[in-house]
A and B are shown apart, each in its own frame.
Chain A
Amino acid sequence: MMHAKLWLSVFRHEWRHLLREKSLWLAGLVLPGLCVFGAYNGLRWTTFQQTASAAFQKSADERLAAYRETVVGLEQKQAPDREFDPRRPLIAGMFRVFQPAVLPPAPLATFAIGDRDLRPYAFRITMREAAVQPDPENPLHAATGWFDIAFVVTFLLPLMVFAFGYDVLSGERERGTLALVLAQPITPFALLVTKLAARGVWLVGTMWGAGLLAFLLTERPSGAALLRLVLWMGLVAVYVWLWLAVVAVVAAGGWASATNAVVLSVVWLVWGLLIPAAGAGVANGLAPGPSPIELVNARRSADRAFEANEKELTVRYLAAQGAPTALPPEDFSLQALARLAAIESDMRPLWESEEQARRRRHQWRSRLAWLSPTALMQSLLDGLSGVDADRWLAFYDQVLAFQKTWRERFARRVLPNDLIRAEEVPTWPRFTLHEPPLSALYPHLALAGGLWLGLGGVLLWVAGTRAGSAGILPAR
């Protein structure tokens, strides 16, 4: 009880002292300023994505409407069927119509840009393929990355924690006031903890305020968005706790302020930059997959292989479909379908290997992220904003599944030459995303939160031991 009162009294004193610090107020303006700037950048991305997706959908709708008009015209004229008749299923499915598949921004999307510019959010689905629709982007921007709130939290917040904590005890010692303070009935460790707690409360409060401000300015309030914001706030608090614990261990060592700053910079460098960068390299090395060049040349080879044995492969295709294998007169639709099947058959092992490598790389990146709080925080914040790899992969799986059914819709009608009718066009399915639930992220959030709370606790215990055993009064 006595201890608690004393701790509270030191905390109050430290709080009042902090409030008089000009640098703290400056940071109190800078942090929310950076967050709002980041949120506006996120909003720009979100708006861009929404506008681009709407334009893409509009172009698909217009194309479909024009196609339907053409079919209506042909039906009214009772035009006879021709080799390249737009009503032929293959001509329609491969060349005349397409379906857009887009990944919409999730709630809280303005809080993280993530790899939104690297992973395609729009696919053009035809009978042949699900083709990506990459926006023209300056590669310098793709290489540099974007300034979003997730960047402020993940990389800059730890630096702020360090800046306010690196001299928390050493500064007192260097000014000669530490001995005076420790003349009171308080241990060095208790002093350290209360001083850091005051800074932690201030930093978390500032970040929460900044987050709330950014939310009000850039997000459309909804239950889902609010839930994500609450989780974001919790995550930020635990993250600050972890970095404060790191500061505590270093500060308890009894080193000079400058040495503390150097050590903390190295910790930030290793945890924040080197491990994530090495992790990405390791993941790529462990699951390299075929290169784009290999894929291009393999596809061309498969195409040539079909050209060299066109008749034989067409017969084989007909046999596989249970159709009569006597070759009908040369027909573009049959030839194109047989070519598609032959190329896919040749390419499948390579495509599967590419897909497996993509997923294995993601798995390795996710596993290795646990070695670095910044990498893990980045992936969790991306998850809360719906710009993470898991959500994208779920979208991509659905795109592939939709393309398969879209293709089947036309392919099964090619051999019987079942012409497309105008009345059926409006009934064709559209791609709708089945959003993976946010609850899929809960175990990761809980595990990361638990890990950081635990690790922070251990680090504080180490700090306590160091403060007790090494003694922090004498300067080393």
Chain B
Amino acid sequence: MAGWLTIARQEFRGLLRDRRFHWLCSAVGLCLLAVLIVGWQQTQTVRAQRTAANAVAREHWVTQPPKNPHAAAHYGVYAFKPQTALAFVDIGVDEHAGVVAFLEAHKRHDLTGAAAQDGRTQRLLALTAAGVLQYLLPLLIIVLAFDALAGEREHGTLRYLLSLGVRPRTLLAGKLAGIGAALGVALLPAAVSSFLLLWWLEDAPWDFVRLAMMAVSYLLYGFIFLALTLAVSSRWSARMTLLGMLTFWAVSSFVVPRMVTDLAARWYPTPARAAFDAAVAHDIRQGIDGHNPQEERLKAFESRLLAQYNAKRLEDLPINPAGLLMQESEEHSNQVYAHHYARLWLAFEQQVALHNAAAVVAPVLAVRSLSMALAGTDVFHHLDFADAAERYRQPLIKTLNEDWAYNSTLATDETYVADTRLWTSVQPFTYTPPPLTLALKRQWLALAWLGGWLGFSLLALSSAARGLTATT
């Protein structure tokens, strides 16, 4: 039998007899199960609520009484962001991002209705499965493994083992496998439960692939902490290993993410509401380049319209110019909004990129980004929904404006009303989240850093193996 397997068995049995292991693994395992079940129940409720809300919004739209299409454009449509099934594992930024888009004429509104608006959440640790795995799992690993080698050395058994011919690599592999297996036993119920809960929630095969990838990410994350703890334990005393790894855990998990948040906000600032609105209003009035004032633009459009219909006065047109002028304004304001939101989104993307770059010192940032992307709850998914809502708003308003323009004239403007035929001709809003490949592509940096940490931890283990001798 391979030597490493014998050592792994020994380590595994030793841990199973350890009261420390019983208490800590039970606590983390139960906590994980509890947050999975609570998260699942909440996700189920929220998903049902948002699906129903979208149906109600559609019903409100198609059953609205006859009215002028422009009045309908201001009546607007509500679009509710669907919650992904895997939000029960990782809620990501969902509680801090809006969920309702109000789509009406003239204005692109921000998403509203974020659950955390009145300080509902505790931001240092979200009690979700992802939160437990990102913050408590490393602690559990450190506490269980800090004396795996240092303890052997301090008790004098390390020298004995090595002098018996046990190769350092075999010893490290055995310890790694033994502790890993014990942790696996503790976390297996939660892992199995998460697949079962997902199956009860939804049977989309891609979500199972996403969940499997999340499981692999957390497995790698756990491996990184275990490998680093063993590597440090091979060189330092048990006490120093514990202190060093706890410091690394606390700094990388809690200090670095917050520092990066502040640095990102400082380096890639986003405007205040008043400044953002003022800039949009200015560009709508003056043109994005400042040389295309609204008044002149609309006058030129009127002239083109009169020339097109060979008419001298707007009143003589066979169509309603108000609808087309409105649409002309919409086209311009759409460009202005696209310009300003693109700048805002760019700042958000740069901020996220900084968070991912900081994963070089804090592996939690890499696994957090990957986990949120796989769960469909990261910033990019939020922006994607906001853009999808805007892509729906623009043709919706265009349809209404053109109906108004081509079915009435200035003379019949006040009496013209559209009815259910127009409302039902507008397709309902549907949203499909971006595919898995795109979600991962956007998090390439996080993926790269997780790989980097994996490589570093393997190097650290290899170096630890070289440093372990009978005279250690």
Contact = CB atoms under 8 A, between A and B. Distances in A.
A138 interface: yes
Interface string A271-290: 01110111111011000000
A118 B50 contact: no
Given A119-B118, A146-B261, A257 B124 contact: no
B242 A274 contact: no
Interface stretch (A68-76, A292-300, A411-419): A292-300
A280 B122 contact: yes
B122 A277 contact: yes
A52 B276 CA distance: 10
B57 interface: yes
Given A52-B273, A139-B114, A140-B378, 14 more contacts: A139-B93, A139-B97, A140-B261, A140-B351, A140-B379, A142-B96, A145-B123, A147-B255, A151-B258, A159-B250, A258-B238, A273-B135, A292-B99, A389-B118
Interface stretch (A261-269, A342-350, A426-434, A457-465): A261-269
Contacts of A20: none
A258 B127 contact: no
Contacts of B242: 258, 261-262
Contacts of A279: 122
A261 B257 CA distance: 24
Interface stretch (B139-147, B184-192, B283-291, B395-403): B139-147
A435 interface: no
Given A277-B126, A293-B100, A144 B50 contact: no
B344 A143 contact: no
Contact of A144 (B123, B243, B272): B123
A292 B98 CA distance: 10
- What are the 7 closest A-B residue pairs judged by CB atoms, nearest first? A292-B113, A52-B272, A145-B123, A142-B96, A139-B93, A139-B97, A147-B258
Interface stretch (A2-10, A129-137, A398-406, A466-474): A129-137
Nearest to A62: B278
Contacts of A138: 264-265, 270, 347-348, 351-352, 379
Interface string B116-140: 1111111111110001000110010
B274 interface: yes
A265 B143 CA distance: 10
Contact of A293 (B99, B118, B270): B99
Interface in A112-167: 115, 118-120, 122, 133-147, 151, 155-156, 159, 163, 166-167
24 contacts: A52-B273, A52-B275, A120-B117, A134-B273, A136-B271, A138-B270, A139-B114, A140-B93, A140-B261, A143-B93, A143-B121, A155-B254, A258-B242, A261-B242, A261-B243, A277-B127, A280-B122, A281-B38, A291-B49, A292-B99, A297-B53, A304-B60, A307-B64, A358-B118
B259 interface: yes
A356 interface: no
A361 interface: yes
Contacts of B273: 52, 56, 122, 133-136
Interface in A336-382: 358, 361-362, 365
A438 B123 CA distance: 26
A142 B91 CA distance: 13
Contacts of A295: 113
Nearest to B24: A266
Interface size grouping (class) on chain B: 35 or more
B46 to A, nearest CB: 8
B398 to A, nearest CB: 23
Contacts of A155: 124, 254
B143 A262 contact: yes
A265 B125 contact: no
Contact of B96 (A59, A119, A143): A143
B246 interface: yes
Given A291-B49, A304-B60, A140 B243 contact: no
Contact of A136 (B57, B246, B276): B276
Nearest to B253: A273
Nearest to A308: B65
Contacts of B348: 138, 140
B237 to A, nearest CB: 9
B110 interface: yes
Interface string A36-69: 0100010010001001100110010000000000
A5 B131 CA distance: 51
Given A262-B242, A304-B64, A51 B262 contact: no
Contacts of B262: 37, 41, 44, 146-147
Contacts of B347: 138
B255 A156 contact: yes
Interface in B1-56: 20, 38, 49-50, 53, 56
A140 B355 contact: yes
Contacts of A276: 122, 124-125
B117 A119 contact: yes
Contacts of A300: 56-57, 60, 78
B404 interface: no
Contact of B274 (A59, A258, A291, A296): A59
Contacts of B143: 262, 265
A141 B182 CA distance: 36
B413 interface: no
Interface in B293-348: 344, 347-348
A13 to B, nearest CB: 23
Given A37-B259, A291-B49, A296-B113, A135 B239 contact: no
A265 B119 contact: no
Given A136-B276, A304-B64, A280 B344 contact: no
B95 interface: yes
B69 interface: no
B80 interface: yes
A297 B125 contact: no
